[in-house]
Amino acid sequence: MGTKAQLTLTGRQRDEAGQETVIKSSFPADYYERDGSSCILYEEQSEDSGSVTRNAIKLKGSVLEMTRRGEIHSRMVFEAGQRHLTDYVTPYGTLRLEVLTETLELSRRRGGLDAALKYTLRLDGQFLSDCTLTLSINLLP
C-alpha cells in the first residue's frame, strides 16, 4: 500500500510562434518507494468525455518516466541530454513524438520531493514546442 500524497504539476509550453500555455493541476496521489526508485500514481478525469486516465510517474536515478493509460496513451521518458521517441495515442490518431530533455533536476525532502524538467517536443522531426514541467509531491500524514 502506498502513502497518500498530493501531487501538483505545472506545465509550460511555448510554440514556434512564441505563444505560451501554462497548465497547473493538483491531484490526490499514491506514492511508493522501492529499490531506490519512486512511483507516483494518480488519475485524472477528462472534462469533455468524463473518461478516466490512469497516470504513473517513475523516478529512478536521473530518469523520469511518465505513463498515461486511458483516452490518451503514452510513455514519455525524460533523461537530461537524451532523446527518446514515443507514440502519443489519442482518440484522433497516433502522433510520433520526439522528446529531447535539456535538464532534469530532482530534490528529495522530508515529506516529499520536487522535480523540474526542461525539454523540447518534436513531431515527425519538426519543432512543436519548448516545455518545462515542475512537479511537487507532498506526503499526507
The 10s digit of each residue's pLDDT in 127-137 is 999 999 999 99
Assign 134 to helix, strand or coil: strand
Write down the CATH number for the domain with range 3-139.
2.40.128.20
* Amino acid identity at 92: Y
Q: Which three cell numbers stand for residue 140?
A: 499526507
Q: Is the pLDDT of residue 16 over 80?
A: yes
Confidence of residue 56 (pLDDT cuts 50, 70, 90): very high
Angle at CA of residue 8, ends 46 and 126, nearest 5°: 65
pTM of the model: 0.92
Please, are residues 8 and 139 in contact by the beta-carbon 8 Å criterion?
Answer: no
| Cell numbers standing for residue 1 | 500500500
pLDDT for 75-89, tens place per residue? 999 999 999 999 999
Cell output for 77: 521518458
Length of the chain equals 141
What is the reported pLDDT for 124? 87
Q: Where are the domains of the chain?
A: 3-139
C-alpha 86 chain-centroid distance = 13
